[in-house]
Copies of this chain bind each other. A is one copy, B any other.
Amino acid sequence: MTAPSSLEDLRADIARAVDAVRASTPLVPSITNAITMDFVANAQLAAGGSAAMVYLAEEAAALAAAGGAFYVNLGALLPIHRDAIPAAARACRDLGRAWVLDPVGMGIGSLRAEVLAELRECQPTVVRGNASEIIALASAWGATSTPDGACGVRGVDSTDPVSAAEGAARALARQTGGAVAVSGAEDLITDGRRVVRVAGGSPLMSRVTGFGCSLGGVTAVYAAVAEPLVAAATAAAHYAAAGTVAAAQAAGPASFKVAFIDALFNLSAAEVAANPLTLEEVE
Contact = CB atoms under 8 A, between A and B. Distances in A.
Contact of A27 (B27, B155, B207): B155
A80 to B, nearest CB: 7
Interface string A32-76: 011111110110011000111111101100110011000000011
Chain copies in the assembled complex: 3
B45 A253 contact: yes
Interface stretch (A10-18, A104-112, A117-125, A189-197): A104-112
Nearest to A60: B109
Interface residues of A, number: 61
Contacts of A66: 154-155
B155 A209 contact: no
Contacts of A282: none
Interface stretch (A144-152, A165-173, A230-238, A254-262): A254-262
Nearest to A51: B209
Contacts of A29: 155
A200 to B, nearest CB: 18
Task: Tell me what chain A mostly uses at the interface: helix, strand, loop, or mixed.
Answer: mixed
B78 A55 contact: yes
B265 A109 contact: no
Interface centre among A78, A111, A252 (most CB of B within 10 A): A252
B266 A261 contact: no
A156 interface: yes
Contacts of A34: 34, 37, 53
Interface of A: 27, 29, 33-39, 41-42, 45-46, 50-56, 58-59, 62-63, 66-67, 75-80, 105, 108-111, 154-157, 207-210, 250-255, 257-266
14 contacts: A27-B155, A38-B209, A46-B254, A51-B155, A55-B78, A59-B77, A63-B108, A66-B154, A78-B78, A251-B266, A252-B265, A252-B266, A254-B257, A255-B259
